[in-house]
Structure 1
Amino acid sequence: MAPRGRGRVLVLACGALAREIMAIQALNGLDHIDLHCLPAILHNHPDRIVPALQAAVADRASGYDRLFVAYADCGSGGAIADFCATHGAEMIAGAHCYAFFDGLERFAARDEIDAFYLTDFLARQFDAFVTRPLGLDRYPELRDTYFGNYRRLVYLAQTDDSALTSKAEQAAQALGLTFERRFTGYGDLTPSLMKA
């Protein structure tokens, strides 16, 4: 059931979370939320996330009672939290989506410095967000330079999709890493949105 009496909420989200947020909205009747996604590729340049959020607020925020930012810190060095404080917005707790999908406490307790993580989005978009931006399609010899300190690829699965699992396994093979799959569902994203 959607929260009552809280007014209209604009959710400014990372495009990598679009499917998950729309699924959570549908499952929980969160019809008081309007979603606007920013390009997921901004993660390759975290310094560009806050300017994009500022532009989105200028373009879209009028007429809303509240603002929710569906980003964690995401490499911004606290800039997203500063933006939220300035605009009276809430945001998702944690350093990144891997932590809030897995659950902040579980993720911190694992302390997996040798793991490279994929979500459903990254399994689906591996070539567009990893292979090509890092030049691995043109210079495959760079693989060990980028990924030599990783031991395994951990796929944090939001859905139970065998095709995505297969893509994640292929990504692990391409990177020369052992493969592990953990079903997380939507993790801490659901309660975060339920409060919006």
Structure 2
Amino acid sequence: MTARKARPAETDVDDAPAYPGRNEGARRVLVIACGALAREVLALGLDGIDVTCLPASLHNRPDRIPERMRATIRANRVAYDEIMCLYGDCGTGGALDEVLREEGVTRIAGAHCYAFYGGESAFAALAEEEPGTFYLTDFLARHFETLVIKGLGLDRFPNLRDAYFGAYRRVVHLAQFDDPETAAKARAAADRLGLAFERRFTGLDGIAAFLTDAGRDGRKTMAGTWPT
């Protein structure tokens, strides 16, 4: 894959965008991604790979993720030789993995995007260092008001701050890009919650490693062998 110099346009939390691959190849590969990852996935330059996203707002209703994923897989199965899932478990309690097992689709390793952005061992070390850590990705930093403040009702009931965040001690921004504007928003989020702030740069290597394997023979699920 080749990196793109310009970052793709921002997506909103309720968007479900689709992006066709730029090159036609012998194998047809679809990546179904969380909308919170769309900008980052496209920045990698996914030649010949189609990307479709589920809305990032589903993180506020994780019980809906598995069946939305199943419906998206089944709607696209005939058109593709391989479908890959770019999601963590994301609070589904294993239900997403069960759907993917039944549908014969590979998922990136990790319980959540923090783990596959930062690396599972590095993330485990962060959690061990300070269990009371609230994590932000670039997407969450940019949409903090919508997903956290409004999503948790703190705009209407600010007194709930202690109920939600009383046990936290710091905010760690796991940054995908060196972007001063996003970094400033992450710091402002920490200030709003009254927590200490740290920034750790992750880049996109975790996603890139997973997607680089797209279409290779060792990972493929051919249309003729889809589960029935």
Fold shared per TM-score above 0.5: yes
TM-score normalized with structure 2 length: 0.80
Q: Quick check: 1:82 aligned with 2:98?
A: yes
| Partner SS state of residue 11, structure 1 | strand
1:172 to 177, 186, 190: 190
Provide runs of 4+ in structure 1 moved above 3 Å: none
Corresponding letter in the other structure for 1:157? A
**Partner Cα distance (2:69, 2:116) in 1:** 20
Contact preservation (8 Å) 2:70, 2:103: no
1:54 to 63, 70, 81: 70
Q: CA deviation at 1:6?
A: 7.1
Unaligned runs of 5+ in 1: none
1:37 to 34, 50, 53: 53
TM-score normalized with structure 1 length: 0.92
Q: CA deviation at 1:13?
A: 0.7
| Partner SS state of residue 131, structure 1 | helix
Q: CA deviation at 1:7?
A: 1.2
Unaligned runs of 5+ in 2: 3-24, 215-228
Q: Quick check: 1:126 aligned with 2:126?
A: no
Identity of aligned residues (%): 54
Contact preservation (8 Å) 1:118, 1:154: yes
Cα deviation per residue 1:60-97 (whole Å; 9 max; x = unaligned)? 23210001011011111111111121121111101100
**Partner Cα distance (1:102, 1:187) in 2:** 9
Residue correspondences, number: 190
Contact preservation (8 Å) 2:169, 2:195: yes
| Partner SS state of residue 135, structure 1 | coil
Corresponding letter in the other structure for 1:80? L
Where does residue 154 of structure 1 map in the other structure? 172
Contact preservation (8 Å) 1:10, 1:61: no
| Partner SS state of residue 51, structure 1 | helix
Cα deviation per residue 1:102-147 (whole Å; 9 max; x = unaligned)? 1111111232421000000001100110000111111111111100
**Partner Cα distance (2:189, 2:146) in 1:** 12
Where does residue 40 of structure 2 map in the other structure? 20
